[in-house]
Every structure is written in C-alpha cells, then in structure tokens.
Amino acid sequence: MLGQTSLTMILGRRVSVPVRSPPSGILTLSGFDPEIVQAVFNPVSRTIDVAAQHLGSTTITATDMYGLSATLTVTVQAYAGKAYASTSIIITGNPAAADFVAESAAAAATLVAYPQPGAHVHADPADVRGAIPLWPDNQLHVTAPLTIAGPGYAPYHQDVAVTVVNLAQPELPPKNLLVSDYPETIAENGTLFYADVSFDQPARLLYYHYANPGSQLRRVLVKAQNNGLTSSYLHMIAGIAGPSPDILAVGHEATKRFLVNDLAAQGQVFEVPPHATINVVNQLLPGGDLVSGLMQLRVLAGSDVRVAVVVQDASEIPVEPISQTLLSSAVKHARGVYEVPDFYYDVAYTVGQDPASLVIGKIPLPNAVQGEVLGGDYGVKQAATLTLLNPSPSPARVGMWFEPRGGTATGTFLIDGDLVELHPVRAGSVVLVRTFDVPPRGYRRVNLVTMPEGGSSYPVVVWFSSQPPPGASWNASPAVYAQRR
C-alpha cells in the first residue's frame, strides 16, 4: 500500500511517496511513461522517488515479490505563471487613502506577473497588508498577495513587496474633455480615439463602449505613446468600471470612482519611455458587456504624450503602437475634443420662497474637431456653491431633491466632501437626497460636486426648497444611499 494513490507535480520538481506496506523487500516499478516522469524505488527510505520530466499524466504500478501491486497516478503540470517578488509604484493623493494605496499596490503587483496562455492574474486589494493613508512626499512598503491560475495549470502564489511613493503634485484643472463613444458598439478591432496631452494642456478622457451578445472576447486598452527622445511622465486620476451588462451600474461606478479620486487628487504616475507605447488601462470586454472610464491626464515632465483608446482581441499581446486609422459606424455618437470640461454654478435659495433649481446635463457642447456635439454633458464635472438664507427667527430645514427629466438616471454627489449615491430613479420621480439645517436669521453654504453618468438619461433637475416640490415629500428614498469618503 502506498502513502497516496495520486500525485500532482510541478514540472522539474521531485517528490517522494512513502510505501506503507510491505515493510521490507524490493518493489518493481512499471507501466509509467519515462518521457513524463522518472520513478525509482528507494529501499532504504522505503519511498518511490518521482521526478517530473514533461507535462502530462501517467500511472506508476508498484509490484512486490509476491505479485501484489498498487498504482500511483502522476500528473505533471506547469505553474500558471510567474511573478517578480518586488516592484514599486508612484501615486498621488492629499493624502492617498488606505484603500487607494491597497488598490494601487494590487494593480502594480499584477504588472509584474507573467501568466501562461489561458491563465489569469488576481490580486485582491482587500488582501494587501500594511496599507495606511499616505501623505505626499512619503513612501510606504506593503505586501500584495498574488495568484495566477488557469485550467490545466498549477496555481502560482507570490507575495509581491510593493514600494508605494506618494509624489506631491499641484491640482490643475483640465483644459479639454476627450470623448470616445463612437463606435459605441464594438464590431471590429482598431483605434477608437486618440489625442495628444501635454504639460500645459491637461485633459479629461471619457470612454464608453459596448459589445453585442455573442461577440468574441475583446480587450479595451488606453494607450500612452511617447514619440520624443526622453522619457515622459504621465499623471492619471481615474475611475474605471466594467465589464458588466448593467449599463447604468457601469456608468455610475466609473463616475463615482473618478469623483472620489479627483477630490483627493488620488492618481498614478506612469513613465512612458522614449519611442515607446505603454498601456495605462487594460479591460476585458466580453459579449453583452460594456466598459467605461473617466480619467484626468497631465504630462508632468517630458514630451507630449499621445493617448488612445484601442480595442483588440483578448488573446493578442497588448503592446502594439497606436494606429491613426479610426474605426467608424453608421450609428453616430460623440467622439472628439470638447473645450468645456467643468461647469461652475452659484445657487442661492431663501427659505420660504419658490424652489431654486440646478439643471445637470442640459448644454450640448460643440466639438473642437470634426464630429458630433456632446449632448448631456457626460464627462463634464459640475460644481456648485449653494447658499441657503434663512431670514426667519426660527431654524429652518431645506431639502435637496433629484428629478430625472430625460429618462431613468443614477447619480453621484459629493456634498461637502461626503459621498451620496443614487440607485436608478425613473423619469418624473422626485427623490429626497439630503436635508440641511439653516440657523435663524443666518445662512449656510454647501459645496456640491456631481457629473452626468454614462448609461443614464440626462438632464436631471436638482431642487432646493423649504417645502417639497410637486411630486416630492420629506420621506427618505431607498434610491439614496450615502457613505463618507
């Protein structure tokens, strides 16, 4: 009897299997493929010593002097990949939150992993050890556990030591909004959008793309290409979401992540070597799913960087330079450069008067290059300073309500820095978002930041009033959920 009846081995490794009985005597080994394993009986240690030679499966039959036998099935596998034990990453943030440090470290770990064909790399930010808030001009050492797995391979595990450096940077607004939403539905591979980003022309990029059910598995990449003679350093603050078949959820998640990261200036710095192209975003796009991303881009040093959104087969190695031939479609959507990436509003409301309103997503933006106008202001950050005045001698309550006008819409608001989110709200519904207490014969100022969300139907109207507007109430809505940053 052997200590086990089956054995899975890593190519190139040796394993000893104990013989339980008989307690003495010589065993004869037969039946196995010597191309896959070498097997030798060791009479001193009473073990069958197996060396993995090639990938495959074979069976070793061990027979004693009395003709009794037992079998050992051996499968030889390769690891699903390999990974370096350490790496580093440069981020920004004022400060960078612990969750962002963990996410950045996990992403950095995946970039030093090299999976076999068909294998997948996974590094969960929740598993990162040692992540704490990181202030500018400081660094931190964390550990990111990583797994590479795939069918037919042995799982590979590696703890990647990641040095996280927070580089202090000024917060500069973008000059242009870059939009890649055409073709919205992907039917072939190629370049969807490209534009140049420079030191004095920072930009915000929005992309939103979908694949029909049954489409082949593809990959959406955001590439950065440096045609200069020295390295360029590209700063990116991003909100990436998908793949998912839920069009409202993808647009909402990308917007939420971007607004939260933008508020804290949480981003990553990429080195783009001279005459090189790197990938700063890499997303799978299965059939029936969509992906979306919002990112603020600025060159910190070096030559201008060409940024492009590219789609390719998932199996292709994603390292090709950017093609200037753009994909097209009969169904027109926005693609181009828009010169108004931010709107700023001042809204004043006096208790007891008619409601004040803020309409989000109402102004079509002209395209600075040939292409469609941008309807709905998608990708345009909307910031408002709300002044609430109370001339009465008693404290007052002012409500903030959300009413979609174009169709079902989700929403994300930063209200004095606190994150408030809305599940889908149908057109014509008016839901209470937040209430504000205003002191007697006093005032209160509130800072709001929001953005129209991909997949949702904008415009929406945001109401401010001491009495509910028509169709509204003071009742809390299940559509609203809030969490602090």
419 within a domain of the structure (yes/no): yes
Sign of CA dihedral 246, 252, 253, 255: positive
User: Residue 468 maps to which CATH number?
Assistant: 2.60.120
Quick one: three-class SS letters along 230-261?
A: CCEEEEEEEEEEEEECCHHHHHHHHHHHHHHH
DSSP-based helix, strand, coil % in the chain, nearest 5: 10, 50, 40
Q: Is the peptide bond before 273 cis (omega within 30 degrees of 0)?
A: no
Half-sphere exposure of 333 (CA within 13 A, CB side): 22
> Is there a single domain that holds both residue 159 and residue 180?
no
321 within a domain of the structure (yes/no): yes
> Is there a single domain that holds both residue 474 and residue 416?
yes
401 within a domain of the structure (yes/no): yes
- Domain boundary (338, 355, 386) is at 338
> Which residues of 67-137 form beta strands (DSSP E)?
69-77, 81-83, 86-92, 113-115, 120-122
Distance CA 353, CA 349 (A): 8
Which residues are paired to 158 by β-bridges? 146
pLDDT reported for residue 171: 86
Could you write out the DSSP letters of every residue in 326-339?
BP--SS---EEEES
pLDDT reported for residue 317: 76
pLDDT reported for residue 369: 86
171 within a domain of the structure (yes/no): no
> Is there a single domain that holds both residue 289 and residue 389?
no
Which stretch of DSSP H or E encloses residue 263? helix 247-263
> Is there a single domain that holds both residue 206 and residue 298?
yes
CA-nearest of 244, 320, 316, 313 to 279 is 320
> Is there a single domain that holds both residue 35 and residue 147?
no
Distance CA 109, CA 161 (A): 8
> Is there a single domain that holds both residue 223 and residue 323?
yes
Neighbours of 370 (CB within 10 A): 7
pLDDT reported for residue 320: 76
pLDDT reported for residue 213: 96
Distance CA 128, CA 146 (A): 9
> Is there a single domain that holds both residue 467 and residue 346?
yes
294 within a domain of the structure (yes/no): yes
Distance CA 310, CA 193 (A): 7
3-class DSSP assignment, residue 372? coil
- Domain boundary (338, 365, 390) is at 338
> Is there a single domain that holds both residue 183 and residue 332?
yes
Residue 452 · residue 376 · CB < 8 Å = yes
For 132, residues 6+ apart whose C-beta sits below 8 A from its C-beta are 98, 101, 140
pTM of the model: 0.88
Distance CA 440, CA 391 (A): 7
User: Which pairing describes strands 218-226 and 305-313: parallel, antiparallel, or unpaired?
Assistant: antiparallel
154 within a domain of the structure (yes/no): yes
Residue ranges in the chain modelled with pLDDT below 70? 483-485
> Is there a single domain that holds both residue 130 and residue 65?
no
For 232, residues 6+ apart whose C-beta sits below 8 A from its C-beta are 226, 271, 272, 299, 301, 302, 303, 304, 305
Distance CA 404, CA 417 (A): 23
For 15, residues 6+ apart whose C-beta sits below 8 A from its C-beta are 7, 9, 49, 50, 52
Domain span including residue 399: 342-483
DSSP letter assigned to residue 217: P
Please state the length of the chain.
485
Distance CA 261, CA 393 (A): 41
Quick one: three-class SS letters along 102-120?
A: HHHHHHHHHHCEEECCCCE
User: Residue 48 maps to which CATH number?
Assistant: 2.60.40.1080
> Is there a single domain that holds both residue 204 and residue 103?
no
- Domain boundary (282, 305, 338) is at 338
Residue 178 · residue 101 · CB < 8 Å = no
Q: What is the pLDDT of residues 381-414, one digit of tens each?
A: 999 999 999 999 999 999 999 999 989 999 999 9
Token digits for 133?
Answer: 């808030």
Residue 452 · residue 377 · CB < 8 Å = yes
> Is there a single domain that holds both residue 256 and residue 305?
yes
> Is there a single domain that holds both residue 261 and residue 238?
yes
Query: How many domains are contained in the chain?
Result: 4
Which stretch of DSSP H or E encloses residue 404? strand 396-404
3-class DSSP assignment, residue 66? coil
